[in-house]
Amino acid sequence: MGKEINEKEKAEEELKILNTQLNEAQEIAKMGHWQWHIASNKVTWSNGLFKIYGFPPKDNGLTYEEMLSRIHPEDKAFVNRTIQESLIRKVLPPYTYRILLDDGSVRTVQAKGEIISDNEDKVVKIIGTAQSILSSSSLKRIPPSLSLL
């Protein structure tokens, strides 16, 4: 029995290390992952995705509507249509959109996902990643001394 406990503790420690490494990699890449459980309308996000969207992390996740609330008004219909069509076609193509942060800055996000269906071909969830690829605060002029390089 002592050996089983030791192996369980070792596995838990390895899992903690892997989770830490995943979080660090997502932070460096300005990336996060998410899952949307269709039946419960619950969206779970990684800490990296909360950071991209400027939300404080929540253990109980978000709703689809809360996620849409951050999307730039000019992109909201496109994002909603892309996701709704993916439920019908069972394919979620990569797409790019903008989000608005509380400070008024705009961030461009590229998302990719996959549709998960049950044995009866009914969509049960969508999983995906989102990566911050540009923000208005990151647009800076190149110093003249570097522009000729």
Read off the pLDDT of residues 40-68 as tens digits, 9 standing for 90 and up: 888 888 989 989 998 888 877 777 788 88
Residue 55 sits at φ, ψ, to 5 deg, of: -95, 145
Average pLDDT over residues 88-103: 94
Instruction: Quote the pLDDT of residue 142.
Output: 47
C-alpha dihedral over 105, 50, 132, 22, to 10 degrees?
Answer: 150
**What number is the average pLDDT over the span 80-85?**
92
Range of weakest confidence among 47-61, 63-77, 85-99: 47-61
For position 2, what pLDDT does the model report? 64
pLDDT at 61: 74
The side-by-side arrangement of strands in the sheet containing 31-37 is 62-63, 42-45, 31-37, 123-135, 106-117, 95-100
pLDDT tens digit sequence for 106-135 = 999 999 999 999 999 999 999 999 999 975
| Residue 146 pLDDT class (50, 70, 90 cuts) | very low
- Rounded CA-CA distance 125/82 in Å is 15
**For position 127, what pLDDT does the model report?**
96
22 alpha-carbon distance from chain centroid: 13
Name the superfamily (CATH) of residues 30-137: PAS domain (3.30.450.20)
Between 109 and 24, the higher pLDDT residue = 109
- Full-model pTM: 0.74
